Chain A
Amino acid sequence: MIKTFLKIISLFVLTISLSSSAKAVELEFYFPVAVGGAAATTVEELSNKYMELNPGVTLKPIYAGSYTDATTKAITAAKGGNPPPMAVLIAIDIFKFYDEDLVMPWDDILTAEEKENWIGGFYPAFMKNSQIDGVTYGIPFQRSTPVLYYNKDAFREAGLDPERPPQNWAEQLEYAKKLTKKGSDGNIERYGIRIPTKGFPSWLTSGLIYQNGGQMTNGLGTETFLDTPEVIEAVQYLVDLSEKHKVMRPGTLEWGATPKAFFEGQTAMMWTTTGNLTNVRKNAPFDFGVAMLPAGKSFGAPTGGGNFYIFKGTPADELEATKDFVKWMTAPDQAGVWTMATGYVAPRPDAWETQAMKDYVADFPPALVAKEQLAYADAEFSTYENPKTVKIFNTALENVMSGSISPADAMKQAQIDIDKILKDYR
């Protein structure tokens, strides 16, 4: 009795172990979602499609929350000795992953031809936060720039031309003043503009900085230049919108609540990522327009978003499968699907040349705005110990927005605090 029982058990165990050592390669990857809309379902749909085309590969996309949460999750897994083969993580944490020795350079698994045609085929603006010393660590996937969304109905109401968005800082302020509306009780019921500043104001503020001709970092991750006139003036322009001109709600404003505030008519213009484009298109109960961020001394915008990273310790067969998957995800057809579902900018020029994309932009011209802004776009704030340094920068900006410190003092202190951290890396 016992013998037969043991035989059955061992047979069972054998079958299980044999079936699990089958040829299927299993790739799990974390991905964050920082925008409203159907980003998570689109990732799953694309993964399912890839699995249909490639029966030997099982993909397991795992939604990991915000960019910060996804980074935490990925580093925790990697440090715990169980790294995922790949993950979509925020591009600017590149120095952090490099410093912690957790990620592999893509160059290690690419041929010379792939380096020239595949890597070389991405928009240069997006490669700025993706390479260290010319070595590629991140493949652009969900990349964006911020854009200006505006309520055309509100424009008409205020006597402004709905087909002419503000072109520069002066016009932006002037329009915002005209669009700010008081209710019957004397309280402001619609603000002219909303630039969210809670949590991570550095991204949108760097737009203002670039428009003002400033530079935040040296591009090598080892130095910042926050205590400079261009940066301070840009921050002053931002805080003046709420403190001095009263065209923006005072205090720090929530990123996630910004589209909703726009839909509810509490702000006539808003700055947010182009990744929210499809969300706004679906949900805005009024006619809206999209424009490049108004120019200061020139047009300017930060790039943003997440790249595909590969982790050290991944076996060779999984790396091959990962490379194939990521090449597929960034190929014109899939990049087009992703762009149309979210509003993110397809990261390669060839993605915009497919018939599907041409039809899409003909039908919905706002989708082109972020792509055209790429000509003026520059890197997002990125240094070693990025989580710490960007938090110092973000906190300084939040303090300015809550009125407790002047831009000059805040930037000076932030520069000092960041220098303390980065001096070990110089």
Chain B
Amino acid sequence: MNKKNNLLNVFYLLVPGFVLLISFTHIPAVKTLMNSFYSTAKGRRASKFVGLENYETLWLDATFWKVFSNNIIYALGVIPSSILLSLGMALWVNSKIIGRPFLRFSYFLPTVLPLIAVGNIWLFFYAPGFGLIDQIVTSLGFPSLNILGSQESSLFGVMAVGIWKEAGFYMIFYLAGLQAIPPDLKEAAMIEGANKWYIFWRITFPLLTPTTLFVSVNAVINSFRQIDHIVVMTQGGPDYASTLLLYYIYESAFVFWDTAYATTLSVILILLLCLIAIGQFFVLDKKVHYQ
């Protein structure tokens, strides 16, 4: 009797969460998959079943491959940099220095700003001629730069904004993780004659691995999710040089209104994220120390 009651309670408590999850995540995902097998409906022509034709178009679409590789480069550039930077910032800000509260505040400031606002601020920084970066560069005697306007550098310009925005956020988590490390471990190591580097590698960093897992999952999600700064700064240009996958999906769906192709792209994005998530949780989980 008790066991049945318990099971029922468990069921009741889980149902609301499940309903939300299924209706806002799973059903749309399945519908997206179904829609990717149909053509786009126009006002004057209904959509029809086309099987794998959309996927064929995607495979042959040079723009898609460019956008895909852009996103991989973006992820590989932003994720390690922002994590390392945030770890460094956290270590520095955790030690006893003058002006520590102010430093913590200024590191965290990018996080509280909306990404649209950040994009606009950096648009000014990067503006050729009268932007902050260009003013510094030209006053040192170098020729003026057009970072967002050149194909080679626009993606990196956008990556810098992504790193700047997120590092402060991850720093908070690392700070919390650092402060949870019992100080007697460090003291014991110092008595034994270990240097700072050894302490970091053998004590601090392993104990931070749960935080690192959390931060890296967030970083991966953000590198595919955040496109606000691209909308504001480059609109994906020049010639898709700074377009990320989600921006391409937005453009296909809401600018070109090629909804069938957009659903096909979405399916690819979902698959990609699923693979990465599986990889992260199973592979990295073995390396995480929880004690």
Which residue of A251, A257, A387, A395 has the most chain B CB atoms within 10 A of its CB atom?
A251
The answer on a CB contact under 8 Å between A257 and B127 is: yes
B42 within 8 Å of A (CB atoms)? yes
B144 within 8 Å of A (CB atoms)? yes
The answer on a CB contact under 8 Å between B239 and A395 is: yes
The answer on a CB contact under 8 Å between A261 and B150 is: no
B255 within 8 Å of A (CB atoms)? yes
B36-69 vs A, CB cutoff 8 Å, 1 = contact: the mask equals 0000001110000000000000000000000000
Assembly CA distance A79 to B255 (angstroms): 13
Q: Which parts of A244-264 form the interface with B (CB within 8 Å)? A: 249-254, 257, 260-261, 264
The answer on a CB contact under 8 Å between A100 and B130 is: no
Q: Which parts of B247-291 form the interface with A (CB within 8 Å)? A: 254-258
Assembly CA distance A248 to B237 (angstroms): 20
Residue in contact with B257 in the complex, picked from A75, A249, A402, A404, CB distance below 8 Å? A75
Given contacts A72-B255, A99-B42, A388-B258, contact A254 B149 (CB under 8 A): yes
Write the residues of chain B forming the contact surface with A, with a CB cutoff of 8 angstroms: 42-44, 127-130, 138, 141, 143-144, 146, 149-151, 235, 237-240, 254-258
Given contacts A187-B144, A252-B149, A266-B129, contact A398 B238 (CB under 8 A): yes
Q: Which residues in A have their C-beta under 8 angstroms from that of B258?
A: 388
Q: Which residue of B lies closest to A386 (CB)?
A: B256
The answer on a CB contact under 8 Å between A385 and B256 is: yes
Min CB gap A413→B, angstroms: 11
A66-86 vs B, CB cutoff 8 Å, 1 = contact: the mask equals 001001100110000000000
Residue in contact with B44 in the complex, picked from A76, A101, A402, CB distance below 8 Å? A101
Residue in contact with A251 in the complex, picked from B138, B150, B235, CB distance below 8 Å? B150
Given contacts A99-B43, A402-B150, contact A198 B237 (CB under 8 A): yes
Closest 6 CB pairs of A and B: A101-B43, A251-B146, A251-B149, A100-B43, A252-B149, A398-B238
The answer on a CB contact under 8 Å between A402 and B238 is: yes
The answer on a CB contact under 8 Å between B138 and A187 is: yes
Min CB gap B31→A, angstroms: 16
Given contacts A75-B257, A76-B254, A402-B238, contact A249 B128 (CB under 8 A): yes
Q: A101-B42, A387-B257 given; name 13 further pairs at CB < 8 Å.
A: A68-B255, A75-B257, A76-B254, A102-B43, A185-B138, A187-B144, A199-B235, A199-B237, A249-B128, A251-B146, A251-B150, A402-B149, A402-B239
A399 within 8 Å of B (CB atoms)? yes
The answer on a CB contact under 8 Å between A395 and B129 is: no
Residue in contact with B238 in the complex, picked from A75, A252, A261, CB distance below 8 Å? A252
Q: Which residues in A have their C-beta under 8 angstroms from that of B146?
A: 249-252
Assembly CA distance A403 to B227 (angstroms): 27
The answer on a CB contact under 8 Å between A249 and B238 is: no
Min CB gap A405→B, angstroms: 9
Assembly CA distance A187 to B130 (angstroms): 14
Which residue of B43, B143, B144, B258 has the most chain A CB atoms within 10 A of its CB atom?
B43
Q: Which residues in A have their C-beta under 8 angstroms from that of B240?
A: 395
A332-366 vs B, CB cutoff 8 Å, 1 = contact: the mask equals 00000000000000000000000000000000000
Q: Which residue of B lies closest to A252 (CB)?
A: B149
Q: Which residue of A lies closest to B139 (CB)?
A: A185
Which residue of A187, A198, A252 has the most chain B CB atoms within 10 A of its CB atom?
A252
A42-84 vs B, CB cutoff 8 Å, 1 = contact: the mask equals 0000000000000000000000000010011001100000000
